[in-house]
Structure 1
Amino acid sequence: MLDSKLSPRDIKDMYSWQAVKRAKIDNEKSDDIIIKEHVRTYGGHFSKIIRINKVIYSNIFNNENDLMKAIYDSAIKDDLGLGLRIKTQDNIISKNGSLENGELQRRQKFSGRINELNGNTEGSKGKGKEVETSSDTLNSNKKRVALTQGNREDSDSNSDSDNRL
């Protein structure tokens, strides 16, 4: 909602590229009902309410780009865009009316459920198990150097390769 102290002539000059209709003052109707009635009677697809000296005007737009441009311009020029918030797909409107990031809440709930299933209420402490490094030596790149090479018991030997032929 854009509240301003403009004269009707200034309104015409500022919003000359759009249709501006004066609404009847009816305290019982909310802004969304006024918008629906004006869009239904005058055409257009999108609408925005402007209050000037306790008179309600409705701006009617034919496409969403014009509406977004008007909202952006009013936020930049007048710094009155605090009431005009666009909700993205990831935002959730809380019970007190503030916008919250829904993606962050979903991730926290999901990680909490995973921790409950695993029985782990603390965060992960690291990858894998710790291996004893007392017998290992480190090279110049601080990499472990194996002192002995492991042997497989079922590895192929020369006698096995002769039997295959």
Structure 2
Amino acid sequence: MGVEIERKFLVSGDGWLQLGEPVLLRQGYLSSHPERVVRVRIEGERALMTIKSKATGISRGEWEYDLPMADAVEFLDRLCEQPIIEKYRRRIPFGGFVWEVDEFLGVNAGLVVAEIELPSEDTVFDKPDWIGADVSDDARYLNSNLIKHPYSAW
């Protein structure tokens, strides 16, 4: 079993905008149940299915598999819960880690979050000056919840 240990933060200012190359992500959920999330994602030329278990703190089980692109497109268009999530992602190296900054589109436009994956829950890390409030424990910011409660409706 893979384990994801992730912290999530709001992004402040625009110092991140010139960092990293934006890549369009389209993702949807075959299941967005809190006990088990099954996500389909197209990122550039790669398609993936990811299964995640319920989080305990900032950790949860994670399994990821390559998908044929045609299958991923069909899942997103025909089977996934709607609306799907669309966002631009920038990967920005800083302090020995890679920050993933997501700029959401569509019904979640205006939301920008940064995530960092860590080797353990107690790992100490430096934050870029454009990192704002820690929202790791706020379920509203889970992508699987943004399909049911989009940012534009908050």
Structure number with the higher helix fraction is: 1
TM-score by length of 1: 0.23
Q: Which has the higher strand share?
A: 2
TM-score (norm 2): 0.24
